[in-house]
Amino acid sequence: MSAAMIRSERCGQVALVRLASDNPLNPLTDALMDQLIDVLLRNETDPQVHATVLTGSDKAFAAGADIVAMSKLDYASAFSDDYIGRSWDRIRTARKPLIAAVGGYALGGGCELAMMCDIVIAADDAVFGQPEIKLGIVPGAGGTQRLPRAVGKSTAMLACLTGEPLSASEALAYGLVSKVVARKRLIEEAIRVGEQIARHSLPVIVAIKEAVNRAFESSLSEGLLFERRLFHAGFSFADQKEGMAAFLERRQAAFQNR
């Protein structure tokens, strides 16, 4: 059994999950990723958790997949074992919101892990990049797919083809992150955003996440139809009645998450 590389705590209805490998650069080893998936899946089934903040160490969110392990790989074993794909793919099946709180390096798989999250909040010292080209490989966990969707083709090409990093302010200007805050306020701000989300009705939170993600998977008319169906279905929730009654009665809504 491998040592604990994930630290998890609860802040009300927000789970704070820290990547905490022995190496503060948090190389994303198989063992670390397996532990991360276990914690995220546990949060998925915990009705008290409405959102998760994922963060790293003082030095790095994560400096990428484990280069030591990758240096020994050959095609046959990478393919047969579905090298690290099996755990990484499960992150995008999370239905509850994931907020990446990125301080320091988010490189390679670290940048890709942040992009798998729904909201990315960066500290002013954050450094994002896809340096895989310098190792003689192609980004393998969405760098060539999610980065252009976030920042556009030209900036994504520049980042992936040169391997050169983006600063926090560049990431903000290009739309890779939602906001940049002072390093010492990073966790506080990410949890504040998590709490702002978490106080709402859980099925509505999940439906909105599904609908926004659908925008990246479908044509506009398919996406609009999907949204319309979810909108109509929303009238079956007790929380719709409560939300609207609370508005009309000028009081705080008390959502039941159903």
203 interacts with ligand DAK by CB under 6 A = no
Nearest distance in Å: CB 73, ligand DAK: 10
CA angle 128, 131, 135 (to 5 degrees): 160
Contact window for ligand DAK (CB under 6 A) among 5-13, 77-85, 170-178, 241-249:
77-85
Give the total residue count for the chain: 258
What character string, x for contact with ligand DAK (CB under 6 A) and - otherwise, covers 130-159? -xx--x----xx------------------
Q: What is the layout of strands, in order, in the sheet containing 6-11?
A: 6-11, 14-19, 51-55, 98-102, 119-123, 179-181
Backbone φ, ψ for residue 163 (5° rounding): 75, 5
Q: From the candidates 15, 56, 63, 112, give the one annotated as an active-site residue.
A: 112
The nearer residue to ligand DAK, 103 or 140, going by C-beta atoms, is 140
Backbone φ, ψ for residue 251 (5° rounding): -135, 170
What character string, x for contact with ligand DAK (CB under 6 A) and - otherwise, covers 89-128? ----------------x-xxx--x----------------
With CB under 6 A as the contact rule, the residue among 3, 85, 228, 236 that binds ligand DAK is 85
On the 0-12 / 13-18 / 19+ scale of CB atoms within 10 A, 44 is middle
Catalytic residue flag (residue 140): no
In angstroms, the CA 254 to CA 196 distance is 14
Of 5, 96, 91, 9, the C-alpha closest to 56 is: 5
Q: From the candidates 132, 156, 171, 194, give the one annotated as an active-site residue.
A: 132
On the 0-12 / 13-18 / 19+ scale of CB atoms within 10 A, 24 is middle
88 interacts with ligand DAK by CB under 6 A = yes
Catalytic residue flag (residue 129): no
The nearer residue to ligand DAK, 141 or 180, going by C-beta atoms, is 141
Give the active site residues: 65, 109, 112, 132
Residues that bind ligand DAK (CB under 6 A): 23, 25, 27, 63-68, 83-85, 88, 105, 107-109, 112, 131-132, 135, 140-141
